[in-house]
Amino acid sequence: MKPYRRMLKCASFLRSISANSSQREKSSKFVLKSSSREKQLQSLDSYFGKFKGGIDHNSPSSLNKDVASSASRDERSHPTRYIVENNEQEKVVDHGGLKTDNDETCGLYLISTMTSINIAVYLFEIASPVKNSDLDLFSLPALYGAKINHLILYGEWWRLLTPMFLHTGMLHTGLGCWVLLTFGPQVCRAYGPFTFFLIYILGGLSGNLTSFLHTADPTVGGTGPAFGIIGAWLMYHYQNKHAMSKDGFESMYQKAVVATALGFVLSAFGPIDDWTHLASVFTGIAYGFFICPTLQSETGEENGVTLIGYRGNADPFKSFVFFSIFVLVLSSLLLVFEPPVGSLAVDTLV
């Protein structure tokens, strides 16, 4: 019996040793996990410490100011993005949800398409000259699409739209494309592709309609939409001047002044009405006043995603509603003002 009892004692002793070792392993694993978590917390503390920049860590107001300044710096360097952080990835969030690179791509395609249309129409113009005693040397697209008051009054209403794609020469075409490629990306990112398209159409329509009511001379208005884009850009920077870079604004403002000066110069050498440019700029400013998105800086947490800095594009529905209102207001001008009619004979144009 004694050997048997000794064997039982040895077995129980071995079991206690194994139990103690397993507990030590578990405790060591727990210590390792705890140390790993501590390292992650330390890395997060150091990361947020960079945002605080020496400001008191225990002050909530200081933290809010620091986050706001960080968001402002990020908006100035990347005006179309704001930081969204979680442990795995960075996203871009819009006013209505996630904003992906598809918006950027769509805007790029839209601007490229508009520029290509202007260039293609100009190439068609120089390839199809039409000699006319009353209009001198006209192109086929201008003959069937220019703003000619007689024909508009005879029912060719599309001549209030088609002149926005017509130009009077290489310099005029180059000016329109340059403005579109210079100001277009910024306006498209600020307002969104859909609203940018509405600004383009509304700028051209308002310019052509104003020219229709102002002069009986045949005109083209390919730079009208470009000046409408400049007007929307001016309004966006005015309403968000607290969060925009002054250096960037001054550079773009100088380009806007150059474009305006060139527009006045070119109007002296072709069928271009200065009132087209003025009306387009004013319409872009007025339309932008009602639908311009406001640049904000705020922090919050939703569904485990932390937002630092926030900005949404213009609401497409709101943009379309105000677009319709502007079109109705512009159309009502035809009921108030009578367009001038020149001495150009209709039968010489058809």
- The answer for residues whose C-beta is within 8 angstroms of residue 122's C-beta and 6 or more apart is 167, 170, 173
> Averaged over 107-132, what is the pLDDT?
84
> Averaged over 66-88, what is the pLDDT?
43
Answer yes or no: are the C-beta atoms of 257 and 203 closer than 8 Å. Answer: no
Q: For residue 137, what are the β-bridge partners? A: 131
Q: How many CB atoms lie within 10 A of CB 182?
A: 18
Answer yes or no: are the C-beta atoms of 142 and 165 closer than 8 Å. Answer: no
pLDDT, tens only, 121-180: 889 888 876 655 444 546 677 777 888 888 898 888 899 999 999 888 889 899 999 999
The CATH fold assigned to 97-348 is: Rhomboid-like fold (1.20.1540)
Q: pLDDT band at residue 269, thresholds of 50, 70 and 90? A: confident
Answer yes or no: are the C-beta atoms of 259 and 277 closer than 8 Å. Answer: no
What's the token pair of residue 143? 């003959």
d(CA 78, CA 161): 35
Answer yes or no: are the C-beta atoms of 114 and 180 closer than 8 Å. Answer: yes
pLDDT, tens only, 283-340: 999 999 999 988 765 544 444 444 434 456 788 999 999 999 999 999 999 888 888 8
What is the pLDDT at residue 201? 96
What is the pLDDT at residue 90? 36
Sheet with 305-310: list strands edge to edge: 83-85, 305-310, 296-302
- The answer for residues whose C-beta is within 8 angstroms of residue 299's C-beta and 6 or more apart is 64, 67, 68, 71, 306, 307, 308
> Averaged over 183-196, what is the pLDDT?
93
d(CA 320, CA 142): 30
Helix (H, G, I), strand (E, B) or coil at 75: helix
For 180, what's the count of Cα atoms within 13 Å in the CB-facing half-sphere?
33
* Residue 130 DSSP one-character state: E
Q: How many CB atoms lie within 10 A of CB 206?
A: 33
pTM: 0.66
For the chain, percent helix, then strand, then coil, each to nearest 5? Answer: 70, 10, 20
Does 108 have pLDDT greater than 90? no
Percent of the chain scored above 70 by pLDDT?
60
Does 240 have pLDDT greater than 90? no
Domain coordinates of the chain in residue numbers? 97-348
> Averaged over 71-84, what is the pLDDT?
44
End-to-end CA distance of the chain: 128
| 52-75 core/surface letters (b: 16 or more CB in 10 A; e: else) | beeeeeeeeeebeebbbebbbebb
Ordered DSSP codes for 12-65? HHHHHHHHHHHHHHHHHHHHHHHHHHHHHHHHHHHHHHHHHTTS-TT-HHHHHH
Which residue would you say has higher pLDDT here, 197 or 131? 197
Q: How many CB atoms lie within 10 A of CB 290?
A: 15
Q: What is the mean pLDDT of the chain?
A: 73
> Averaged over 112-125, what is the pLDDT?
91
